[in-house]
């Protein structure tokens, strides 16, 4: 989580450089690891009006405009982090390689698999210092078994969605059911999981007056 006392944030290199100013003092702070650790720049400034990244190939350069109100004077500052030395890292002009990335999933409450698909992205490791030169970051997906949490359950948990039953980690449509499934479409041309979005009725068996829920498979 980013420090709330730092404002005017500029984030470049997909989190590889975070640059901002302290709210009360205007002091400049920067981070190479997504805001986990911060270093300050001892620069005599008054008030930064603008902070913006400068578009240089494979460079980490921040431009800023400072305003001196008593003198009514604007100044331009350029901060070049290509070979910046901090107490944590030495920034070099190295392009990220495959082992500099890690798998990142969109956070979910019930794990990474959702309705038969696990979607993830490649994200630069926070501890790695390199330049991420990818022009776009596309999601990757792979098939995975569904789980109980993937499906819509009734408020009364004696049964789940009718016309389906649970078999081998998948929800299968009961062939004896009269249910007509609607046509489904997936983003990015994916294959819809037809018939896997529910469960069959759960039978209730009484044993010594204690109800036991049994899933029909």
- 145-188 pLDDT, tens digit each: 766 655 555 334 444 555 656 666 555 666 776 666 555 566 66
Alpha-carbon torsion (91, 132, 56, 77), positive or negative: negative
Q: What average pLDDT is seen over the chain?
A: 68
DSSP 197: S
- What topology does CATH give the domain 98-146? Complement Module; domain 1 (2.10.70)
Count other C-beta atoms under 10 Å from residue 9's C-beta.
Answer: 15
Residues 6+ apart with CB under 8 A from 189: none
Q: Residue 84, exposed/middle/buried by CB under 10 A (0-12, 13-18, 19+)?
A: middle
Specify the 3-state DSSP secondary structure of 107: coil
Residue positions counted in the chain: 217
Span 205-217, pLDDT tens digits: 444 444 443 433 3
Count other C-beta atoms under 10 Å from residue 207's C-beta.
Answer: 7
- Which segment of 28-42, 59-73, 83-97, 110-124 scores lowest on mean pLDDT? 83-97
Q: Residue 164, exposed/middle/buried by CB under 10 A (0-12, 13-18, 19+)?
A: buried
Classify strands 73-80 and 101-105 as parallel, antiparallel or unpaired.
Answer: unpaired
Over the Cα atoms of the chain, what is R_g?
A: 27
In angstroms, rounded to a whole number, what is the distance separating the alpha carbons of residues 14 and 86? 19
**102, 122 contact by CB (below 8 A):** yes
Q: Which residues pair with 172 in a beta bridge?
A: 165
* Residue 54 scores a pLDDT above 50: yes
Residue-level pLDDT at 165:
62
**42, 33 contact by CB (below 8 A):** no
What the block records as the tokens of 118 is 């696990």
Closest CA to 160 of 174, 181, 176: 174
Closest CA to 60 of 42, 86, 37, 36: 86
């Amino acid at each position: 989580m980013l420090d709330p006392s730092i404002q005017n944030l500029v984030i470049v290199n997909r989190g590889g450089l975070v640059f901002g100013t302290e709210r009360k003092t205007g002091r400049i702070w920067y981070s190479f690891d997504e805001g986990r650790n911060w270093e300050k720049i001892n620069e005599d400034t008054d008030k930064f009006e603008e902070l913006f990244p400068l578009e240089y190939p494979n460079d980490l350069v921040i431009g800023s405009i400072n305003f001196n109100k008593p003198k009514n004077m604007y100044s331009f500052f350029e901060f070049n982090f290509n070979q910046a030395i901090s107490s944590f890292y030495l920034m070099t002009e190295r392009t990220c390689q495959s082992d500099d990335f890690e798998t990142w999933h969109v956070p979910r409450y019930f794990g990474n698999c959702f309705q038969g698909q696990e979607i993830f992205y490649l994200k630069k490791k926070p501890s790695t210092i390199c330049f991420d030169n990818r022009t776009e970051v596309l999601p990757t997906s792979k098939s995975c078994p569904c789980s109980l949490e993937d499906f819509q359950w009734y408020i009364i948990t004696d049964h789940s969605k009718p016309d389906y039953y649970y078999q081998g980690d998948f929800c299968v449509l009961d062939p004896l059911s009269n249910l007509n499934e609607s046509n489904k479409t997936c983003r990015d041309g994916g294959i819809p999981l037809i018939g896997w979005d529910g469960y069959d009725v759960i039978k209730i068996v009484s044993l010594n007056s204690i109800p036991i829920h049994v899933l029909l498979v």
